[in-house]
Structure 1
Amino acid sequence: MEKAAKGKKDMVLSYVRSLGTQEHRSLMETAYVYGSKYQFILITGGPVLKQLGVNESSQLSQVWFLHCRADDTSMTPVTSERCPSTRMRKALSTLNLHAFLQLLEAPLVSEVYVDPSLVPPPQLPYQLTPQVFLFSHPATAQLDRDVAAALAWRLRGVALLLLVHRQSPAVKTPDKYNAAYRLPEKSSEVKYLTLHSFDEVLTLFTKHEEAEQGEEEDDHVDEDEESHLGELDDEVAAEVYKNRAHLHDMDSVTQLTSHNFHNEIAESSLTVALFYLKWDAVSMDFLSSFIEVAERLEDSHVEDVHMCVVDCGEWTDLCAAQPGRAVPFQPITAFPSILLMRPHQSAQHYRGMLTGEALHRFIMMSREASPVLLSTKEEVTSFLQESPHPDLAGYRPDRALGLFRTESQSGLSVFIEAAKSLRGEVLTGLLTDVVMEEWAAEHAVDPPAVLLFPSWREPANPSVLPVESSSKELLARIYSALLQPVPEVTVESLPSLISLGKALLLLFVGEEDDEIGRRHNQALVEELATVVEQGGAKMERYLPCWIHLGHTPAGMSVLGSYLGSMPPLPALVLTHLPSGDEVYQYPPSAPILGSSVLQWLQRVEDGMESPAGMLGGDGWPPAFQFYDFLKLMDMPETEEEVETEEVDVEEHLVTKRIPDDQLDMKTKLHSEL
């Protein structure tokens, strides 16, 4: 690559410990901006490191600038087979790398004819760069230039070198000094000295930096890293950054690629695939849980589940493939994503909690047929009472039982389609013929019908649902019937409650200190249940629910964001209205009674109540849009992009905003970076 670039393009060689780190992302962002100017090279180890004199066990990422482009004005001695290199001495970050590349574009040596004290400090973008001054005499001017160029090469990327001509009357520095320097400090004081060798200058600027770098290698989490943790997006990103040196053991999972995808899917009755990005903190955090689930399944000798991962940063063609013959799923647009795939079937999305326990439970229930064909009383009893697997002992799932006189009865296909959608969440069974008739008579049900056995209710009292005309309508009825009359809001249940599209009549209760407090909270929840009973059809648009701040402490932040401050407890609010973002608070001084709450809801509907707060307007889009960075960087430049022209920037400033639909992909990505 050096030979190919010789005389044409400078190169930026970067070493990162592993892909997906913060340093890797900084390099990718910089490469996108400077990719047309420099040739970027990325390595994560190998013999190149040894040639550069770097220990591969080092925890520090590093960058080298290879001067391969011949330039007569830069005094670049590109004569050997290898290109001269300059190492970046600061930590790899987007800002440091940008400043380093800007510094290498500065003149190798600048000549001045005034005293160093009269030379202004470096301006943007070199304002944090030291200055070194060498003095030149008329009799040795050419030799002084050569000496200055040689020293400048050794200071490249560290300091700016200026050659001061003593023949100028503005130079007042005594002859006993042959050098001076200025550090990027507020005082901007110039210090003078007498040098006897280059090494004395290099010591001034490199010894301290190398000592700091050595300390960083000895201590992976030093003060700089601790301060960096506070700048990350959230606790998840900070935890991933802190554990970035820990490599995941991928032996228990199969890494899917564009080459082995179809063969791996065909070999197993159930494939669970995690689609992730190495530079997404949530992906990397959940990857650990996913591997733990794979190891747990392996220890339990579960052989019919194939656990796989797809690195969408490496296999962009697979993650962005269009459905059809190529893949059984839509392009992946959010990370991490978990799909359950079976041969000759469409993929099923896992939409549960991103925890190992929740995923393990979902996988174990997904192994069961959906629906299970039941033909005897014993099989029905086992379906309703026994756990689907020993690993799920103690977990009581929701169950649905379809009753149909014959396998060809109207509505059966609707139930089967709904059952497939419920796989992993609800156990579904199918009863036909003689056994079905006995069950229908026992429960006074006229088939076709669906019996629901919610986990919170005794099996002796199932809910009876008619079979709808479509699976979508049937699913909506099933999800609604599985809810408790007044469900508790938890981190796990909130997404499903929000998805119902109803306004939340949300009761916040505090943690009980004794039995009296527990009974008081229970009485408040029961009073909400009377609101449902008394309101009848009017309450269809509302979902009464409650949140226990002892069970779910995050509810305190939610309540504070709703109202702007923490009110006294208990607090009853109306929020997530389909018609707007207003938040209404039930009068804190009024007792929470069913009839009073119904009257208050009517006043809200009539516009007689003022909002107590507003929901935040910020959306939560996917953390990363799916960009194929390599494809973007390889896109040929147009002639307009290549040609440049000097213009007066201030004269050409405009305030007109370009519509988003007229921006091309490159412009959008620049804006995001």
Structure 2
Amino acid sequence: MFTLELKQNDWLELIINYFYIHSMSCHFHHNDTILKTKIENKMGHLFCACLMVAAVASSSTPPGLNSPKTDMSFSFNHALVITSQRLEELRQTPSLLLVYFFINELPRTSRKFFEEYDKSAKYLEAYNVQLAVFDCKADMSKEEHCSNVKAGRNVYSYKNGRQLLEMEVETMFDVNSIMSHALQLVLLQDVQIIQSRLERQALQKSMIGKNDIFFAYTQAIGTKEHRIFMEIAYTYQDRYKFALTTELKSTLGLQENEYLKSSTSLAMWVLFCSDSNPEQFFQSGNCHHIMYKGEISLAAVATFVKNLAEPVLYHCPTNEISSMKNLPLSLPTIFIYSNRELADFIKFEVDSLVFDVRGFARIMLVEMDNGECQAQAKQQGFHGKLPSIGIQLQNGEVAFMSESTEWLLSTLHEFLEPYLYPIDHSAQESNLELAHSTDLERITASLIEEVETQDDQVADAVFRLHLKEMELDLIPPLAKNNFYSTLKSAELKMVLFYLPFDQVSMAFLRDFGEASQILSTMYSDHDVLARVNCFDATDLCAAENITTYPLIRIYQRDEETQDYRGHLYSKSIINAVKLLQLKSPVLLKSEKEVEMFMERHFPNKFSEFSSSAVLLLSHKEHQEARSTFVDVTKSMSTITAFGIVTEELVTHIAKKYGAPITSVIAFRQEDINRQKSILAGKISVASLTDFVKQSTISSLPELTQINFPLLYEKKLPFAILFVDPDDQSSEVAKEMFTKLAMTGQFEKAIFCYMDAQPKTIGLKILSEYTWTATLPAISVVDHRLGEVFNYPGDNLEQSQVANWLDSVFSNKEKPAKILEQGVWVAPGRHYDFLAMMDEKRSILRIQAEEESNIEAEDSSLTNGARASVLLTEDELLKIDEDIREELLELRNSRLYHQSPERRKPGKTESPQGHSVPLVKQDVAQGHGHSHTEL
């Protein structure tokens, strides 16, 4: 037995953690909504228990002085409790190993997790996945994870002696989540993760004429639906290609996509790419496909996949109507009554239905010209006009479409849908039971879903990082008693004013600490940064007039204070410190100093902190220009360096660089296309500020989240080149695009490029702009009007691109897409706790009344009826276990019961009943699947 021990101090720590989590607002990503609901539900009960334990502890012996222990023990029946030696052995095996390191110091480790982990070990054994627990306290080895505070909050995975992924315990809270995460690792290569519509289309394109694809959208990784999909994928990976997405926009263009919501638990499509050809694909952007509309259970989905291999279309008189009852697999039969005259008239509808009902039904085409078929149809009860359609019900009777209904594909679907995809009444009754639950989380499920998916990504990141200790030892905390004296003795101080409960403040405080460490270790700047906690030092923050958080204020000797306006991350802070230390504007007294300043090597080397250097050429009598230059220098000395040439050198330097007096020159040594820019004429604060900002941008910048605000500020359309940096044609396109930008022909556009390789933000953006695209690709986006224009064709000749851009900017082209209008408002509803409490009281009252009515009835009959409808979670898992055994038997019979020499590509029946070759994926010897190591 593996014993877990929690002491009184641990319980008290749990109470502290309870309040800490709620002070952090319990922020979770939308993928963890289910987890959050469970945690909060359990936490209420646990909190009461903690208070009781704490009360007993406080009224008796103080902690640590012979205080009694509160023990919790757990016996693992399926998961292994392993030693160091056994751990090393299991790490080296080719099978997947999951290990939880129990440190015995984490109060959030609960019995519930171990129960689910142990159950999962039983089910995952069938997939050759081993789950284990390593007790760091019992085993005195020097296992590195045991000294890591994060270890107890993660499950670690290993294979062939290598560590794979770390999975957070918070996302592995039940059997479904544990199994789905494990199977996702097992099928790492076989189940592709899709993040954009273009990725999905690229996968389809690669499968044309080869394999069919099972593509699924799931609300989150780790759900029951995700687990079901992965188990099906494990079984049928040799027959189909499987792909998965959690991005709703990745489903655009697929059947009934418009009805999906982010809260949809699972949507699944079968894409028949093996029967498609490139011409059809390029016309529609998709392989022919159908959407799965059945029950979301392992048994139902497994039956559907199995049925897909069955022939769909039968003919009478070739097959007798009565023979349909004797066919294997109890699929509904659809009867289409017609004759030779109507064959062409009904062909489109019949061909469409043959694809649309695959896996759900069979179709028999009854030729009413044949006397025998006509007689059998009459026995069914058919006496209507032709063409017509009917479907055989479970009781053997046939339901017919009304004669008055027009023969259209849409009306045929309307008729068939209630019979093929009936509403799950048991699920409705189950939902009715949930509606009367006393659990507040269930009562307000829709509201919780809406509120909890209003992501605060900053808060989520802060919560997940809080275990990692911040490096703040080089950032002294200041208060009113030492604030002014510290500033008085410093040449330069950048002071961060923050609030500990503000998530942006806490996110940036970590970066601020990292900046202090880098400044100290790499540049010997030990005392440049400081911090003020405005929750503690309210008087100081009021005196300094701090009204926004976080805020960095710059204090420099003999200079006015200024607020830092740059990016809130460590690299920007380091750049700002090093540039401020130059004390711009720098007086340049010789031609050599001017040259070194241009090269960003004077007065100190600053080339790694700024991409430009800005120089003023002006005589002393031009006081207005000098004054303007100095004013801009003060506000922008954190992004670049400023220099002024002495009176004696002005004329010579101006002549050397072909600049007038008075003017400002910006140097960019690394931009080979445009190493200098000149601002001449009337120099104002606004024009010089804009000039300086633009000096930090290359002639063809890469569009990133860092420079987007600066580029967007110009309020001009973006001409974006999407590239693959590893492709030579993209490099050629970049050169062409740079030359086009340098011509000055399109000054009313911002030229830039984006990396659009798979898994990049660039590809996501490109998939928003265009339906299909190959790299390199060009789009013009006018954010003010929401218009998107996509360059047609693959020929990226400079003259052709220029002509196309000219037609776009002269309004001769129609936009390919109009972007949705965004509104900056509250994202949705909020919690009304008082109303929720009132609703709970009302439901409890209704429930009490119903219970009293039930007691008056025959309790045994009622309970029996209820038991037939509602199943416990364990009962559902038992059903899935039986189905799982059948699936694995099917998989093993197909893969392992043949020698490699005899394992030929199989054949599956097409919808029309013709044999077509089935392309198999290569299977590594000794395994049912191949893997990509991380």
TM tier, smaller: 0.5 to 0.7
CA contact (8 A) 1:268 1:304 kept: no
Name the CA shift for 1:340/1:407 in 2 (closer, same or farther; >3 Å): farther
CA offsets, 1:582-629, max 9 Å, x none? 22222245645445444455346537403324156264999xxxxxxx
CA distance in 2, matches of 1:399, 1:573: 32
CA distance in 2, matches of 1:363, 1:591: 44
| 1:475 and 2:689 are equivalent in the alignment | yes
**SS at 1:410's partner residue?**
helix
- Aligned mate of 1:455, from 658, 669, 672: 669
Name the CA shift for 1:559/1:17 in 2 (closer, same or farther; >3 Å): same
Name the CA shift for 1:434/1:460 in 2 (closer, same or farther; >3 Å): farther
**SS at 1:416's partner residue?**
helix
Partner of 1:348 in structure 2? Answer: 563
1:82-161 aligned at under 5 Å gives the runs none
CA distance in 1, matches of 2:112, 2:674: 72
| 1:359 and 2:568 are equivalent in the alignment | no
User: Which residue identity lines up with residue 573 of structure 1 in the other structure?
Assistant: S
1:412 is displaced (CA, Å) by: 0.7
CA contact (8 A) 1:365 1:424 kept: yes
Q: Cα RMSD over matched residues? A: 4.8
Partner of 1:554 in structure 2? Answer: 761
Partner of 1:524 in structure 2? Answer: 733
- Aligned mate of 2:711, from 497, 512, 515: 497
The number of residue pairs the alignment matches comes to: 437
**SS at 1:247's partner residue?**
coil
Partner of 1:252 in structure 2? Answer: 474
Q: Give the percent of matched residue pairs that are identical in Structure 1 and Structure 2.
A: 20
CA distance in 1, matches of 2:741, 2:607: 34
Partner of 1:292 in structure 2? Answer: 514
CA contact (8 A) 2:611 2:696 kept: no
Unpaired segments ≥5 residues, structure 1? 1-11, 29-89, 105-152, 155-208, 623-640, 651-673
CA distance in 1, matches of 2:608, 2:691: 27
1:407-418 aligned at under 5 Å gives the runs 409-418=623-632
| 1:264 and 2:481 are equivalent in the alignment | no
| 1:577 and 2:786 are equivalent in the alignment | no
1:313-324 aligned at under 5 Å gives the runs 313-315=535-537, 321=542
CA distance in 2, matches of 1:604, 1:462: 28
- Aligned mate of 2:611, from 371, 375, 397: 397
CA contact (8 A) 1:400 1:453 kept: yes
Partner of 1:510 in structure 2? Answer: 724
Name the CA shift for 1:528/1:249 in 2 (closer, same or farther; >3 Å): closer
CA distance in 2, matches of 1:297, 1:600: 46
CA distance in 2, matches of 1:590, 1:459: 24
- Aligned mate of 2:533, from 300, 311, 325: 311
CA contact (8 A) 2:612 2:695 kept: no
**SS at 1:540's partner residue?**
coil
1:543 is displaced (CA, Å) by: 0.7
CA distance in 2, matches of 1:302, 1:475: 32
Partner of 1:16 in structure 2? Answer: 16
Name the CA shift for 1:271/1:94 in 2 (closer, same or farther; >3 Å): farther
| 1:611 and 2:816 are equivalent in the alignment | yes
CA contact (8 A) 1:277 1:312 kept: yes
1:504 is displaced (CA, Å) by: 0.6
CA contact (8 A) 2:476 2:531 kept: yes
1:368 is displaced (CA, Å) by: 0.7
Name the CA shift for 1:253/1:557 in 2 (closer, same or farther; >3 Å): same
CA distance in 1, matches of 2:825, 2:726: 34
Partner of 2:423 in structure 1? Answer: none
Name the CA shift for 1:526/1:621 in 2 (closer, same or farther; >3 Å): farther
**SS at 1:402's partner residue?**
strand
- Aligned mate of 1:332, from 532, 548, 564: 548
User: Which residue identity lines up with residue 331 of structure 1 in the other structure?
Assistant: T
1:430 is displaced (CA, Å) by: 0.5
CA distance in 1, matches of 2:722, 2:674: 32
CA distance in 2, matches of 1:408, 1:93: 69
Unpaired segments ≥5 residues, structure 2? 1-11, 28-35, 57-108, 116-134, 138-150, 155-167, 174-219, 222-451, 828-833, 844-934
| 1:226 and 2:165 are equivalent in the alignment | no
**SS at 2:153's partner residue?**
coil
Name the CA shift for 1:291/1:571 in 2 (closer, same or farther; >3 Å): same
1:391 is displaced (CA, Å) by: 7.9
1:455 is displaced (CA, Å) by: 3.5
Partner of 2:919 in structure 1? Answer: none
User: Which residue identity lines up with residue 506 of structure 1 in the other structure?
Assistant: I
CA offsets, 1:232-266, max 9 Å, x none? 95887666444433433432112234554444333
Partner of 1:197 in structure 2? Answer: none
CA distance in 1, matches of 2:497, 2:772: 40
CA distance in 2, matches of 1:589, 1:308: 55
CA distance in 2, matches of 1:511, 1:604: 28
| 1:372 and 2:579 are equivalent in the alignment | no
Partner of 2:751 in structure 1? Answer: 544
CA distance in 2, matches of 1:607, 1:102: 70
1:290 is displaced (CA, Å) by: 2.0
**SS at 1:451's partner residue?**
strand
User: Which residue identity lines up with residue 547 of structure 2 in the other structure?
Assistant: P
1:177-256 aligned at under 5 Å gives the runs 220-221=152-153, 225-227=170-172, 233=455, 240-256=462-478
Name the CA shift for 1:462/1:530 in 2 (closer, same or farther; >3 Å): closer
Partner of 1:567 in structure 2? Answer: 773
CA distance in 1, matches of 2:566, 2:819: 28
1:662-673 aligned at under 5 Å gives the runs none
**SS at 2:512's partner residue?**
helix
CA contact (8 A) 1:22 1:279 kept: no
Partner of 2:601 in structure 1? Answer: 387
User: Which residue identity lines up with residue 606 of structure 1 in the other structure?
Assistant: N
CA contact (8 A) 2:584 2:641 kept: yes
CA distance in 1, matches of 2:698, 2:657: 21
Name the CA shift for 1:377/1:266 in 2 (closer, same or farther; >3 Å): same
1:435 is displaced (CA, Å) by: 1.6
Name the CA shift for 1:615/1:585 in 2 (closer, same or farther; >3 Å): farther
Q: TM-score scaled to structure 1, two decimals?
A: 0.54
CA contact (8 A) 2:480 2:540 kept: yes
CA distance in 1, matches of 2:758, 2:620: 47
Q: TM-score scaled to structure 2, two decimals?
A: 0.40
CA contact (8 A) 1:377 1:435 kept: yes
Name the CA shift for 1:307/1:405 in 2 (closer, same or farther; >3 Å): same
CA contact (8 A) 1:449 1:467 kept: yes
CA distance in 2, matches of 1:95, 1:279: 24
Partner of 1:428 in structure 2? Answer: 642
**SS at 1:496's partner residue?**
helix
CA offsets, 1:399-440, max 9 Å, x none? 111112116633110111122222122111001311222212
1:466 is displaced (CA, Å) by: 1.4
1:396 is displaced (CA, Å) by: 6.2
